[in-house]
Amino acid sequence: MPGCCGEPVDETTPDANNRVVTDFTQVAVVNQQPGAQQGLQWQEKASYQPPNVPTPPPTLQYGQAIAMQNMQQMQQAPWLQTNGTMQGQFNPYALSGSPSPPPMMSTGMSNGSTTLTNGSFVTAAGHPPSQPPSSFGGSPINGYSPPHSPPLTQPSPAHTFNNGMSVSMSVSGRNSSPGMASKPDSFVPPSTDEGKLSVSIDFGTTFSGVAYGSSRIAGGKIQQILNWPGSFETFRKIPTCLLYDDRGQVIAWGVEAKNASPLPGSVKCEWFKLFLEPHALRDGSVDPRLPSLPPGKQAIDLIIDFLTCLWDYAKQQITREIGAVADLDSADVWLTVPAAWDARGCQIMRDAAITAGLVHSSRAGDVNWRDRLRVITEPEAAAVHCAYLTDLHKLKPNQNFMICDAGGGTVDLAVYKIIGMMANLEIAEMCARSGANCGSLFLDLRFRELVKTLLERHPIHLDPASLAYFMHNFSETEKLAYMGEQDDDKMFHFTCFNVDPVDDHSVGLINGELAIPGTLLRREVFDPVVNQVLELIEEQLKKIDQRLDCLLLVGGFSGSEYLFRKTQERFASRIKAIARPPDCDTATLRGAAQYGLARRPLVSSVIAPLSYMMKVKLPAEPQDFLKRPAYIRENDAGVSICDNRLQYLVAKGAILRKGQRLKHKFCKFSQTTQDRMFVATLYTSDSDQIMRYTDEGEIMELCKWTVDLGVLPSFQQNVSIPQPNGFYTEFELGLELDSAEVRGILIYQGQDWGRVVFDFRS
């Protein structure tokens, strides 16, 4: 995952492992989990309609008068670009056509720039420069800087080293190529993105689905795959489930794996997405109630296996449904991730998706094929879907709405404002999103614990098959239909899997059924999970100081009648409208595909959910001698240097334009010509406090970024001139934060010299 930053190191050659290279008709509200739709019929797809291509201008004739006339016509032609270059490939993070974000907070910086303390700078060893470099400025901590437009001059290809191999680094932020300028008599064809296929994959903890769309298919409406292996019925989503044999090979997946009977040596795997939750990645703390992974398998192995099966089938099914129109080799693929995930989890998902073959090079020269895989947060995708349903929710420009994406494993929350006209829809994030592991799966887990407690004296009903049968009955019947207090006096009956002639009235075991009082279900199963969701909504409301016009519940768990009623009871007096959109369980899936079809950033700005910073060494200041004298040392030139200082790249809560680049200048001292590597360590913090030192609060190391400065002309020039006392190299690191991903860019003299992906293996 691209991103940046950290501390320069003194070693001339870092560990090779740390070297990283670039590269809506309205329908009834859904109140059940994705299930069979026996009455659903296929609709005839609209026939292929060729795009409307304007007639090109007449060919230039000889003669000055005719030539002048035709040149005037061509300058007015809508299919010609004003910059004289061919239309570049679609960039979903482009900034054109979007209004400016709201004004930013100031953090003591002046004139919209950040200067390192006392005009000092970061060096690899803390040495002072032999010649003072230019002043170092950058973006404010949470201020907005207009995107820099680099000159069209293409720099030399940047190279760095990965495991000893020289690899070209892709240049980002460029849509023009050398030698591609249009001549006066050239005809610019329509964009190659016209009719391009957009495929979305909602990889969920309990259920997953696939949707797709194109301007050439069904009038641009989103289509879903409904026919799946292992069933003659239609399903909007299928279980995220794998079945392995004793050799670790996939026997079945999806519906077939979920419904498979136990086989000797086989292992059924579910809920493995939760192993990428931030706490699980950081310290390995996984909910003990989750099933363990198969021997020799890691979570990413299961994700790769499932995505491989899902994608292979999806390609076949989409081709069957729309025929030769489907160009899946060059399709954009949108993958959804929970809002609470950090950049490390998103990068693991991206790596798994690429390994599973969701995108690949489709032709010779297709060097940017990885960019066709887009990662988007689940509430952001759901917000796009819901914002289009203006007839249902009466949303208008300048109104705020909250998305509560209550899924199987996670519940994600985000608040957005509709800006601009509805005909040119655009939404902006209003505050930092949040989320937690409190989806409907945790109702299942609490129900299982309740059954085990009730039947602890009847072990015949506690074997894996029996417990799975109890949980299946609960999930398919009572989980979403349960109404809460009004069901307190009811008895809920669950059929036992094994035959046991012994009844036990004290625990409700009668005639082969387990009867559980409604009040016990509410107290032990529903209330703890539902209350956690309500508290998440409450905390999200506290983050905004504006009126909230609408709360939209999406995701499979939003079909719970009890959750919906409790939400209305608690927030109806503060929120004008609380609703569930049609197909609420597939809002995320459909929204991601709609985002792809829009060919522009529908979400114009995002809020930084964390602070991103790097540990640096800076010349000591008076307050450093008072506060942290132990951090101060003298370098070889006798200058006092303070270690363990923090340089903020972006603060939590900062408003960032989609694709906005935060640039910071650095200077590395090289003692020898071999000392060319700059190692930056990026840290994150969930604290609202701006910290000066690494020990002032909890910070977490996110990743390392190794930058090879030997590709820069200034470094090469210094190498060519003997300098026994060493030399300095000035450069910039750029940080781009998207809703789900972080990208890092090496910048020199205003031009991109490489996109670099972080190393998350630390």
What pLDDT, in 10s, does the model give residues 148-169? 333 323 333 333 333 333 322 2
Return phi, psi of residue 616, to 5°: -135, 170
Share of the chain above pLDDT 90, in %: 31
C-alpha separations of 464 from 87, 267, 469, 494, 751 in Å: 59, 12, 9, 16, 60
Q: Between β-strands 509-510 and 434-436, what pairing exists: parallel, antiparallel or unpaired? A: unpaired
Between CA 680 and CA 342 the distance in angstroms is 19
Q: Does an H or E element contain 306, and which? A: helix 299-322
Kind of pairing between the strands at 411-419 and 426-429 = antiparallel
Please name the residue that has the structure tokens 């009455």: 39
List the beta bridge partners of residue 159. Answer: 168
Q: 415: closest CA among 606, 162, 563?
A: 606
CB 730 within 8 A of CB 667: yes
Instruction: Give the tokens for residue 256.
Output: 């077939």
Q: What is the pLDDT of residue 422?
A: 59
| Domains in the chain, CATH or no CATH each | 16-21+96-172+607-756 (no CATH), 198-375 (3.30.420.40), 398-581 (3.30.420.40)
Phi, psi angles (nearest 5°) of residue 566: -65, -35
Per-residue model confidence as pLDDT tens digits over 434-471: 899 999 999 999 999 999 999 888 888 888 888 888 88
What pLDDT score does 151 carry? 34
The confidence band for 220, taking pLDDT boundaries of 50, 70 and 90, is confident
What pLDDT, on a 0 to 100 scale, did the predictor assign at position 432? 87
Q: Token digits for 42?
A: 């296929």
Classified as helix, coil or strand, 378 is helix
Torsion of CA 371, 375, 381, 384, to 10 degrees: -30
Residue 574 neighbours by CB distance under 10 Å: 12
118 with 631: CB under 8 angstroms? no
pLDDT value of position 536: 96
Computed over every residue of the chain, the mean pLDDT equals 74
Q: Determine the pLDDT at residue 476.
A: 83
Q: What is the pLDDT of residue 304?
A: 96
Determine the average pLDDT of the residues in 602-608: 84
DSSP H or E segment with residue 597:
helix 587-598
Q: 297-351 pLDDT, tens per residue?
A: 999 999 999 999 999 999 999 999 887 667 788 889 999 999 888 888 888 999 9
Q: 215 or 390: which carries more pLDDT confidence?
A: 215
pLDDT, tens digit (0-9, with 9 covering 90-100), for 567-594: 999 999 999 899 998 888 999 999 999 9
Helices (H), 455-517: 464-473
Separation of CA 368 from chain center: 19
Model-wide pTM > 0.75: no
